[in-house]
Amino acid sequence: MTQPVRITLAQLNLTVGDIQGNLDKILDQLTQLRGKTDLILLPELSLVGYPPEDLLYRGSLPARVDAALDTLRQAAGDICVVVGHPRWQNGLCYNSASAFYQGQCLLTYDKQALPNYGVFDERRYFIPGQQPGVFEFKGRRVGVSICEDIWQPESAADLKAAGAQIILNLNASPFHLGKQNERTDCLIARAKETGLPIFYCNMVGGQDELVFDGGSQVVNGNGECLLHGPVFEQASLQTTWHPHSIEIHCDSYDELSEEAMAWKALVLAVRDYVGKNGFPGVLIGLSGGIDSALTLCIAVDALGADRVEAVMMPFKYTSEMSRTDAAEQANWLGVKYSSVSIEPIYEQFMNGLSSAFAGLDADTTEENLQARIRGTLLMSLSNKTGKMVLATSNKSEVAVGYSTLYGDMVGGFTAIKDIPKTMVYRLSEYRNSINAEMGGEVGKAIPQRVITRPPSAELAPGQVDQDSLPDYEILDQLIDLYVDQDMGVEDIIAKGYDAAVVQRIARLVDRNEYKRRQAAPGAKITSRAFGRERRYPITSGYSRS
């Protein structure tokens, strides 16, 4: 009689290049689950993290990976460990998965579908496998696929044809809003096509611009989703695969709101970028505006108030409201707070430039100088303390270049780089609602008038953002169409938008690519982020139509 198989999905937070650290996490799982499970399914490329990028070219890497695999093979014992790793053969590299059990390797499978779109460039590094991966375990035929394989009907069909009775799918699937539902729809489709249950294990953690959300799933052969794992946290999800059913031994998590998903992603991205890169904390230029206020809350939730420092750098155009609100927020959140006036430094700069500027009218040069002084002060404090500067530009500003190169763009990471301005407001209200749920006062985490006042860089008297930009509701719609959807200018105008506004915004997006190339990385949240996902030439004569 066929025995039940206890299967654990171990969605772990792994670090690119930290082979020993990743191995230790896997070995710790083995220790904790000994006697409690028969099989552990791990994420894609578990041993080296994802994406390893050009680390795969390092000559010392294959030997380190092989040594770690040998350690894992010997340590597996009575637990079958299905682990992702790179594999080299005859000078070629494969994205692979191996199954170890009782000192033996039951299977080594090479990923067949190599994604080469969006944030993925696997064909730069890997050779596609040619054979489906199936192995025998406790009288069952177990099929193995890796991430993109499950999105291709042929891969699942090949496993079915090879006699697989179940599909184990290892993943390093990056997050963007709506991705959870896309994955579920895919798994349901493959299950219904093949009649096979699918156990889907995804990675967790921040890796530069990417955030991995976990959310591992189990779908039965009828296409019913039995388990949604937690998002943005490590978990060992225990199940039992019976001959004709699947038993779930852990909680299934409800779908979260878009704001909650985005918030968790941003917090994890900042926590892991700061922590995995060894920074003791962060510095934020706190202006009294909504972008820096939101960034401060993200940093505090990610790192704790004791690792966050806020610096107000007022000028003669800085309103008393901004000064008051910045101090109030910093004090309420419990972060270290200081104020350093840039006015005397600005005057010294202007005195030094007086002969060069003689006869020339004041323009944005003087405004940008204020931002660059602030950037210099922040970077000086960063050098002195070791804390990383967390930049505060949002996606709307990044898109059209509404920021100062070497000024407010300075920093090691930009938390809200992929958050449109309209979502900045939504997330600010959401963070205040969390505060209320925890028994705090609404409008304290982010003072309410910071949210309701007209946005302004306060670089000139009476300045507001809408002096230079269309209303953010319109701007964000245009950015979505032109950037996220790659729609042409004429097609956007045909949707009813003002032609002059569309042409101007498209021109700003195109001409500010040089700024984005020099900007700090930031967490990918939307379906099309600037950075590794959208790579446009700086110098181009291509028409925008």
Q: Which residues are catalytic?
A: 44, 111, 147
**Would you say 432 is a known binding-site residue?**
no
Pairing state between β 166-171 and 140-146 = parallel
- 246 annotated as belonging to a binding site for a ligand: no
HSE-CB at 210 with a 13 A cutoff on CA atoms is: 24
Strands (E), 62-125: 80-89, 92-101, 104-110
Closest CA to 222 of 184, 194, 248: 194
Check whether 412 is labelled as a binding-site residue. no
The CA-based angle 526-531-534, given to 5 degrees, is 75
Q: In 10 A of CB 224, how many CB atoms? A: 13
| 368 marked as binding residue | yes
Query: Which residues does 498 contact at the CB level (< 8 Å), separation at least 6?
Result: none
Helix (H) or strand (E) holding 124: none
Instruction: For residue 380, say whether it is annotated as part of any ligand binding site.
Output: no
- Asked if 126 and 94 touch (Cβ cutoff 8 Å), the reply is yes
138 labeled binding residue: no
Q: Please tell me whether 496 is known to bind a ligand.
A: no
Is 287 assigned to a binding site? yes
Burial class (CB in 10 A: 0-12, 13-18, 19+), 226: middle
Task: Using the structure block, give the residue that is written with the tokens 């990056």.
Answer: 174
Cross-strand partners of 231? 214
DSSP 347-407: HHHHHHHHHHHTT----HHHHHHHHHHHHHHHHHHHHHH-PEEEE---HHHHHHT-S-TTT
Distance CA 262, CA 256 (A): 10
For residues 169 and 201, is the Cβ–Cβ distance under 8 A?
yes
Structure tokens at 336: 């270290």
Kindly give the interhelix angle for 19-33 and 61-76, rounded to the nearest 10 degrees: 10
Q: Which two tokens stand for residue 33?
A: 């689950």
Residue 398: name the closest of 372, 419, 375 by CA: 419
Residue type for position 330: A
Would you state the structure tokens that stand for residue 446, as one six-digit string?
């982010």
CB 342 within 8 A of CB 370: yes
Query: The tokens 């004709």 sit on which residue?
Result: 244
Is there a binding annotation on residue 515? yes
Radius of gyration of the CA atoms of the chain, in A: 26
Residue 531 annotated as binding site: no
Q: Which residue has the tokens 């959807």?
A: 485
Task: Please indicate if the annotation marks 168 as binding a ligand.
Answer: no
Whether residue 447 contacts residue 287, with contact meaning beta carbons closer than 8 Å, is answered with no
Provide the token pair at 84.
């992702």
Name the residue among 348, 351, 288, 353 with its Cα closest to residue 314: 288
**Which residue ranges make up the annotated binding site?**
117, 173, 179, 285-292, 368, 392, 397, 515
**Which residue ranges make up the annotated binding site for deamido-NAD(+)?**
368, 397, 515
**Which residue ranges make up the annotated binding site for ATP?**
285-292, 392
**Which residue ranges make up the annotated binding site for L-glutamine?**
117, 173, 179
